[in-house]
Amino acid sequence: MSHNTLLVFEVTILVLAVFLGVEVISKVPALLHTPLMSGTNAIHGIVIVGAMLVLGLPDKGVFTWIVGFVAVVLASANVVGGFVVTDRMLEMFKKREPPKRP
Partner 1 sequence: MSYNLTNLLYLVTIVTFILALRFLSSPAHARRGNQIGAIGMLVAIAVTFAKKGLTDYWAIAVAMVIGGGFGAVAARKVKMTAMPQMVALFNGVGGGAAALVSLAELHRILPEPGAPKVDIGLAIVLSALIGSISFSGSMIAFAKLQELLSGRPITYAGQQFVNATLFLACLAAGLALVAGVQDEWLLWTLAAGAALFGVLFVLPIGGADMPVVISLLNAFTGLAAAATGFELESNVLIVSGMLVGASGTLLTLMMGRAMNRSIANVLFGAFGKVTEQAAAVAAGSGDGNVRSASAEDIAVMLAYAHKVVFVPGYGLAVAQAQHDVRQLADLLESKGVEVSYAIHPVAGRMPGHMNVLLAEANVPYTQLKEMDEANPEFSRTDVAVIVGANDVVNPDARNNQGSPIYGMPILNVDDAQAVVVLKRSMNPGFAGVENPLFYNPKTVMLFGDAKASVVKLIQDVKTV
Q: Which is nearer to partner 1, 97 or 101 (CB)?
A: 97
Q: How far is the CB of 61 from partner 1 (least distance, A)?
A: 8
- List, as one string, the DSSP characters of 81-99: HHHHHHHHHHHH--SPPPP
Q: How many CA atoms lie within 13 A of 91 on its CB side?
A: 6
User: Can residue 92 be called a binding residue for partner 1 (CB under 8 A)?
Assistant: yes
- Using CA atoms, how far apart are residues 72 and 81, in angstroms rounded to an integer? 14
Among residues 2, 5, 62, 93, the one that binds partner 1 under rule CB under 8 A = 93
Binding mask 40-79 for partner 1 (x = CB under 8 A): xxxxxxxxxxxxxxxxxxx-x--xxx-xxxxxxxxxxxxx
